[in-house]
Structure 1
Amino acid sequence: MLQLDNLSLHFGERTLFEDLSVTINKGERIGLVGPNGAGKSTLLKIIAGEQKADDGYVKMGNADTVGYLPQDGVEPDPNLTVFKEVEQVFEEILSLKDRQIELQQKMSTLSADSDDHEKALEEFGSIQHQLENADAYSLGADIKRVLKGLGFHEEDFTRPTTEFSGGWLMRIALAKLLLKQPSYLLLDEPTNHLDIESLRWIENFLKNYEGAVILVSHDKAFLNSVTNRTLAFQHGGLKDYAGNYSFYQKKYEEELELLKKRYENQQKEIKQTQEFIDRFRYKASKAKQVQSRIKQLEKMEKIELEDEQSEIAFQFPAPERAGQVVIQLRDLVKKYGDNTVFDGIDYEVERGDKIAVVGPNGAGKSTLIRILAGLEPVTSGKRELGYNVTPGYFAQHQAEELNPKNTALDEMKLAGSRESETRLRTILGCFLFEGDDVFKKVRVLSGGEKSRLALAKMLLNSGNFLIFDEPTNHLDMRSKNILQQALDQFEGTLMIVSHDRDFLDPIVNKTLEIQPGHIKTWLGNISYYLDKKAFDDSVDLEQDNDSGESKKLSRKEERRIEAQKRQALSKKLNPLKKRLGKIENEVETKEVRKDEIEEMMAKPDFYDNSDEVKEISLEYELIKTELAELMHKWEEVAGRIEFVENEYEEQ
């Protein structure tokens, strides 16, 4: 049992948290949530012993251990291979093995009936027993299993750690923690550096973890899948919820509504009491009652509401209309020296496509979208951009292209969008730059802040074919919701590399899977892709187990697959039909007004009043223009519906 007793932490005059107490039991999987800056990462560091609280203490059993994965900054031994680095977590077992080898060598030089041989043999037996209890002889298999689960290939095991990027080094650190199996596993944003396959693997690993897991993440789907308890930072303390993130959200909203009602009732009571005091303050006959009311106000425990963050929405400017085919790749080959990433692939993106790009790290996701964005040359083959297509591209490394001497607001002004300063500050607020944060120089911003600034800047000058490489890595829940809504309403074409299912599912209508050497398109969102792929994999497994003979699907399975396809079709069609209905309502309203004006204009006395003629004529011309635009939109949406329905029929 882990106990946090009356923890308090202050930074100058600012109180991060005060008298924070909570008990954590083994087997619990806890989501630690709250706004940026509330103290989530700091609390993990205090539990891990990497930072001290001002007051209070952390208690746990003598045999209990803590394992902590920070957001960044891990540094493995540069002299070791991946396998050897991970193996270091079993230092005690490795020492026992070394001692066992020493004893074997020693016994080979001693007489079998000597006392020294007897002592060595006794120690050897004791070590053998310890190694068996520790499952030491399965360590190699366990290490390989975890490394493969986190996306490493067999050939990676013998490569030096220096050959890997920061994201892969975080995976090595995560592998060490998972193998060490501490009593309390603390993970700070572990999904940032994982692809979708590794993410699914670690979800299953953590669900079956015997110790306790405390998890900070902005990936709602991951939290919902893994956690069974939520600790939420509120008013400088922790509120406990007996469920996952969605459970917490629902309960919190209910509590907030109830609190608002109690607050309103209390404010009415305070107002009435104060009015009585003010009215009879100087009336001797009411002096006793006035004093009683004053004491009543003084003793009243005031209800406080958290400062509600104002609802901020970001909307892309209406993109220029592109041709039906946005981009084509024909017989594309891409090589880096002797390494062939793609060999003769064909791919086409159509106007209105919103595509999630998934696949294991290293398969070529970033390479492909850089080719599509025109930033990466091809070795051979064709890349043809469609009519009137303007790509917009965002990747994390663009943060390094910001001018360190500029403020965040200066960088936004340089985007050339001609937005007002007020609007620019509002957009920066969407990405966690609030108040005076907009005047921070780029050189003092953290890596995450730079990334958010680069994303905000890119969105101001976006184009009609937007391409994103992991846009949500440094965004909190609120910022992700703002970006998600904007992308969902965007009328152009999208491609997004991401593993965040909750973010992607409402936006995308296709999933492009990139595996080493080939690509495949799935007509549905991420959840549909994962379900369909899991089913296909299980069918493949059944076929393999049946000596390669293809097994015919049962009627039940065929109905299930058909239902999945219909569900995926509905998810794509419903928003399109809703938009079409809205356009049709607007057309009907404007046509009614147009008919009314035409009737007015047909009357003989209409032209007697020149001012009225001018006003009505202007309105008439405006309605005709708006109707033409609405009919154009109607044709586009209706065409998209037909295209989606045809895709469904062809599956």
Structure 2
Amino acid sequence: MVSLSQVEKSAGGRLLYRGVSLRIAPGERWGLVGPNGAGKTTLLRILAGEEEVDAGRVSRRRGLTIGYLRQEAVGQADETPLLVHVTGARGELAAIEAELARVEAALAAGGPRERLAALAAEQGRLFERFEQLGGYDLEARAEAILHGLGFRRAQLAAPVASLSGGWRMRAELARLLLTGPDLLLLDEPTNHLDLASVEWLEAHLRTYPGALLLISHDRTFLNHLVEKIASLEGGRLVTYRGNYDAFERQRAERRAVQAQAAANQERAIRDAERFIARFRAQANKARQVQSRIKQLERLARVEVESEAPSVAIRFPQPPRASRVAVELKGVDKAYGETRVYRDLHLTLERGQRVALVGPNGAGKSTLMKLLAGVERPDRGSVRLGSRVVRGYFSQHTADTLHPERTVLEEVKAVAEGRTETELRALLGRLLFRGEAVEKRVAVLSGGERTRLALARLLVRPPNLLLLDEPTNHLDMAAREALAAALAEYTGTLVLITHDRHLLGRVAREILAVERDPDGRAPATVTLFPGDYEAYRRAQAEAARPAPRPEGRPRRPARADRAARRRAKAEVNRLRREVARLEQELEAVMAEQEALGARLADPELYHADPDGFAEAARRHEEAGARAAALTEAWEQALAALEQAEAALGEGVPRMR
């Protein structure tokens, strides 16, 4: 469908990658990962045809349609109503509607019978094509997508120009989903979404019929959607089978095999060098010495990939405070005519770990600002407990840093009593090392600004930590480091995030902030004990319809029969997938066993060093493929068991 062959690309005088090859087949689901600055967005632009390569070839199937979602909105928004803007993405339908209008006008004008008959036939063909393309339910589908992405009905008539950048990105995503291109390229599609919208998008993309390639720092999103990973590593593109967790395991195994192979090779080299040094002067060993010398000259060194520098985050032990960390009593808060809270009462105690969840606009960030003291209530009180020290990070904290200060100066501004040596050590753990601490804030990337804002939090040990979307602009490694640090934090934590992996590791209680869709009534705040998954299960149980009273069984409706046909088709598809994976896995395991037997031969290395290296490489690849196939088979089998449970049919087992 689309392929890259030996692509080379530089940006700003820096080589991004060389020798990159990738093939995306119809229906495949890829995740593109790599550290910030590796060139992921550039690769998406190359695939979309918006960026030229310096060398290599890009091939696209004739007639291929590509949809590309950028990280940020591009161009000026106009006064077009939102719903019209989204439905306007289906240009062919608009053209058919124009043709229908022309034909209807011609029919109304009258004329010879033969001409009217030809016009009626043309109108029939246009109606048929319009129906095939989903024209009759176009607006309904557009509204469903917009609702899933968090838009309220009242917003559908609003001009696109009135939307903020984040909501404009949602509108562009809705256009792409409605268009349904053959290949969907998504660059951080969850950045501007709340939790409910992320989960809706994930469910929608699971059934998307086209191919998909996405960049995301959301581990859960990647795990649930992709079946292959393309990883930019040191200027190369390495591909893996499986989701993100499988990729991490395979990469770690691959690096371990590389390290072991390199160690084995170093031992062999030292042995050869000792032999050469010992017997070089002996005529009767000249032949063996020359053989060892030639072997060393021909030897291809095993390269061990170096680990990228990683962020190290550790929150200092917070000072002990009173039992009550913060208490809200009878709080009212409004912005103009919009009343966000009325008579809100909330108490958070020492050591609580709470996540605020709810749709965008419900009032989560307002509640966080009240807790942080950034906003004052219109009525009521917000009181801190004794010896409570607040630390607050908002979505916009990184934008409030002083642009003319250096990194070191920005941390010094909040670091009374700390030495420069201590501050440099702290910044070094957040990857500001050496001369990087002298960089001005104005030239920092989004990820660097977020790390600097976190450094300011770490200077003083807060015992009430308030974090509003702290993972924005952080790459996967930094997110993992933050999750690990927060998991060990012993103070009181209040968190807003759409990163479900972080939620699962950190939150032990859920504060659900809910508001009616029109936003007229104040928000309600409800505390749910348990983590996010427990909260989701409780919500699903509450939304489940009550059981039908017993009585005369109803006749299955047409929708029920159609649903059963779809379920049966899904079972058949999963059976084929399980059988295919079994066959592939057996073949790979046989290959791995044969290569292992070959590598076990102690004479192989000396007799054929190149063959040994090739066998080791193939053995490693076979192991990685076997691991990925095993995981894919287990997932497919689990899905099949679940699908067949409703149909009462057996599940094939692996031979």
TM-score bracket for this pair, using the shorter chain length: 0.7 to 0.9
What is the letter of the counterpart of residue 41 of structure 2?
Answer: S
- DSSP 3-state at the match of 1:494: strand
Is the 1:312–1:426 Cα contact (8 Å) retained in structure 2?
no
Indicate whether 1:542 and 2:546 are aligned: yes
Q: Quote the residue 1:389 is aligned against.
A: 388
Q: Identity of paired residues, percent? A: 39
Deviation at 1:284, TM superposition (A): 5.2
Report deviation, 1:175: 0.8
Distance apart, 1:464 and its partner CA: 1.2
Matching residue of 1:158: 157
Partner of 1:649: none
Q: Supply the AA of the counterpart residue of 1:171.
A: R
Aligned to 2:132: 133
Following superposition of structure 1 onto structure 2, how do residues 208-227 of structure 1 map, counting pairs within 5 Å? Answer: 208-227=207-226
Distance 1:535 1:430 in 2: 44
Larger Rg: 1
Q: CA deviation at 1:251?
A: 1.8
Q: Is the 8 A contact 1:76 1:85 kept in 2?
A: no
Deviates more, 1:76-85 or 1:211-220: 76-85
Q: Describe the shift of the 1:75–1:10 C-alpha distance in structure 2 as closer, same or farther (beyond 3 A).
A: closer
1:339-358 deviations in Å (ceiling 9; x for gaps): 11112222111110111111
Give the distance between the partners of 2:151 and 2:115, measured in 1 at CA: 46
Q: Would you say 1:533 and 2:539 are equivalent positions?
A: yes
Q: Given the alignment of the two structures, is residue 15 of structure 1 paired with residue 15 of structure 2, yes or no?
A: yes
Partner in structure 1 of residue 44 of structure 2:
44
Report Cα offsets for 1:17-71 as digits up to 9, x if no partner: 2222222222221111222222222211110111111122222321221111121
In structure 2, C-alpha distance between the alignment counterparts of 1:508 and 1:417, rounded to whole Å = 31
- 1:511-562, CA deviations, whole angstroms, 9 ceiling, x for partnerless residues? 1111112111111122222222222222xx327x779xxxxxxxxxxxxxxx
Return closer, same or farther for 1:243/1:418 CA change in 2, 3 Å cut-off: farther
The one-letter code of the counterpart of 1:394 is F
TM alignment of 1:315-334, pairs within 5 A = 315-334=314-333
- Tell me, yes or no, if the aligned pair for 2:316 and 2:458 is still in contact at 8 Å: no
From the two aligned structures, give the one with the greater helix fraction.
Answer: 1
TM-score for both structures, normalised by structure 2? 0.79
Measured at CA, do residues 175 and 52 of structure 1 come closer, stay the same or move farther in structure 2, by a change above 3 Å? same
Assess, with a 3 A threshold, how the Cα gap between structure 1 residues 2 and 397 changes in structure 2: closer, same or farther. same
Partner amino acid, structure 2, of 1:522? F
SS of equivalent to 2:306: coil
Q: Equivalents in 2 of 1:303, 1:13: separation in Å?
A: 29
Out of 200-209 and 405-414, give the one that drifted further. 405-414
Q: Which residue of 2 aligns with 1:123?
A: 122
* Residues 273 and 120 of structure 1: CA distance in aligned 2, closer, same or farther (over 3 Å): same
The separation in 2 between residues aligned to 1:424 and 1:120, in whole angstroms, is: 80
Q: Which residue of 2 aligns with 1:410?
A: 409
Whether contact under 8 Å (2:110, 2:116) holds in the other structure is: yes
Aligned equivalent of 1:358:
357
Gaps in structure 2 of 5+ consecutive residues: 516-522, 551-655
Q: Which amino acid aligns with 1:459?
A: L
SS of equivalent residue, structure 1 residue 369: helix
- Three-state SS of the structure 1 residue aligned to 2:15 is strand
Residues 447 and 475 in structure 2, CA contact (< 8 A), matched pair in contact too: no
Deviation at 1:393, TM superposition (A): 0.7
Cα gap change, 1:252 to 1:165, in 2 (>3 Å): same
Give per-residue Cα distances to partners, 1:82-137, cap 9 Å, x unaligned: 112212211221132133223323322324x3555445434333322221121111
Q: Is the 8 Å Cα contact of residues 330 and 382 (structure 1) preserved in structure 2?
A: yes
Distance 1:14 1:271 in 2: 37
Match of 2:613 in 1: none
Tell me the alpha carbon deviations over residues 436-467 of structure 1, each in whole angstroms, 9 at most, x when there is no partner.
43332111223343233223222323421010
Cα offset, 1:144, TM superposition: 0.2
What letter matches 1:178 in structure 2? L
Task: Report what 2:79 is aligned to.
Answer: 79
**2: CA distance between counterparts of 1:417 and 1:507?**
30
Partner of 1:634: none
Secondary structure in structure 1 of the residue aligned to 2:217: coil
Distance 2:218 2:257 in 1: 28
**What is the CA-CA distance between 1:394 and the residue it aligns to?**
0.7
Q: Which residue of 2 aligns with 1:236?
A: 235
Please give the residue correspondences for 1:339-488 in structure 2 after superposition, counting only pairs within 5 Å. 339-416=338-415, 418-421=417-420, 423-433=422-432, 436-488=435-487
Alpha carbons of 1:144 and 1:76: their partners in 2 closer, same or farther (altered >3 Å)?
farther
Q: Which runs of 5+ in 1 are unaligned?
A: 548-651
**Does 2:145 correspond to 1:146?**
yes
Conserved in 2, the CA contact under 8 Å of 1:466 and 1:494?
Answer: yes
Q: In the superposition, relative to structure 1, how do residues 312 and 161 fare at CA in structure 2: closer, same or farther (>3 Å)?
A: closer
1:190-209 CA distance string (max 9 Å, x none): 11111111111011111111
8 Å contact from structure 2 (residues 83, 156) kept in 1:
yes
CA distance in 1, matches of 2:342, 2:100: 51
d(CA) in 2 for partners of 1:486, 1:315? 5
CA contact (8 A) 2:3 2:24 kept: yes
- The structure-2 alpha-carbon separation of the partners of 1:294 and 1:360, relative to structure 1 and needing over 3 Å to count, comes to same
Match of 2:199 in 1: 200
Q: What is the distance in 2 between the residues matched to 1:42 and 1:10?
A: 10
The whole-number CA distance in structure 1 between the counterparts of 2:177 and 2:429 is: 35
Distance 1:125 1:428, change over 3 A: farther
The more displaced of 397-406 and 271-280 is: 271-280
Residue 536 of structure 2 aligns with an amino acid whose one-letter code is: L
RMSD: 2.3
Return closer, same or farther for 1:429/1:360 CA change in 2, 3 Å cut-off.
farther
Q: TM-score, normalised by structure 1?
A: 0.79
Query: 2:108 aligned with 1:104, yes or no?
Result: no
Q: Distance in 1 between matches of 2:52 and 2:416?
A: 46
Contact 1:430 1:479 in 2 (8 A): no
Give yes or no for contact 1:3–1:58 (8 Å, CA) kept in 2. Answer: yes
Q: Identify the residue that residue 606 of structure 2 maps to in structure 1.
A: none
AA aligned to 1:322 is A
